[in-house]
Chain A
Amino acid sequence: MSYLVCVLLFGLMVGSVGVAWNPSPYFAAMGLVMVSGVGCGVLICFGGSFLPLVFFLIYLGGMMVVFAFSAALSAEPYPYGWGNRSVKMYVAAYVLGVGCAWKVLLGKWSGFWGGILDESGELLVLRGDMMGVAAMHDVAGWMLVLGGLGLLLTLFVVLELVRGVSRGGLRTV
């Protein structure tokens, strides 16, 4: 099981390097899709059930879709690919840097880092993280209201930013 976690962590690193040094925003969005899928797998390996689902549905299905069609705003007729010479050099530099950092900082780690901590010892329907998110509606109810008000405020911010003609954020073109 800890080997699976190792493979997924490696996938996270590869995807992050791909997002950080992307030849074109299309490939950065693809890298983010890969990173969120693999991150969902990491959370599942550590016993989460609700948080990985939230990750997939809200992050991938909500935010990434919006980024994907916004990539049409940065469209070029001939986008760079991964095989471009300057891109390959920088990706190699990033990978080398990450490898050196891992070698230096990790050293010898001790302890049982790859296992799932499960206190009850039996198979439950209601897992820990689902109960934690339920606390958001119960104990942290005011935080939920604040989050909703913040989202409403963001809607008005976005509408003001893209308003044209006279009173908005766009110059008259």
Chain B
Amino acid sequence: MTPIQMTFSTMFLLGLMGLTFHRTHLLSALLCLESMMLSLFLATSLWALQLSTINIATVPMLLLAFSACEASSGLALLVATARTHGSDHMQNLNLLQC
């Protein structure tokens, strides 16, 4: 594997691990999700630049647009959590716990 592919693959896996093992705040999980999206943007941009397939350059732009949708939905959920539970601590989200 070349170092560049290794870099953005590792960035994606690190963000995924941060999302899985987040400890206290919901916002930390959302920021790890953003880092995953960032690694995908880098990967598709480097695809367009390195292989000179310039039509693929539309993919990072559309990826950015849809990830803005996802980030705003996540932040709306964060605001809703902060308004009902008082903070965004993950241990307060226990309505489904038996």
**Chain A interface residues (CB < 8 Å from chain B):** 5-6, 9, 12-13, 16-17, 19-22, 24-25, 28-29, 31-32, 35-36, 39, 42-43, 46-48, 50-51, 54-55, 58-59, 62-63, 66-67, 70-71, 73-74, 94, 98, 101-102, 105-106, 109, 111, 113, 117, 119, 128-129, 131-133, 135-136, 139-140, 143, 147, 150-151, 153-154, 157-158, 161-162, 164, 169-171, 173
In the complex, what distance in Å separates the CA atom of A143 from the CA atom of B64?
13
Q: How many B residues, CB 8 Å from partner? A: 61
Main secondary structure of the interface of B (DSSP, over half): helix
Nearest-neighbour CB distance to chain B for A2, whole angstroms, equals: 10
B93 interface hit (Cβ, 8 Å): no
Q: Which of B54, B69, B83 contacts A129 (CB 8 A)?
A: B54
Residues of A within 8 A of B66 (CB): 147, 150
Given contacts A54-B64, A59-B38, A129-B49, 15 further A-B contacts (CB under 8 A): A9-B3, A13-B11, A19-B14, A20-B15, A20-B17, A28-B28, A39-B41, A42-B42, A66-B75, A94-B17, A98-B10, A109-B2, A132-B58, A135-B58, A158-B76
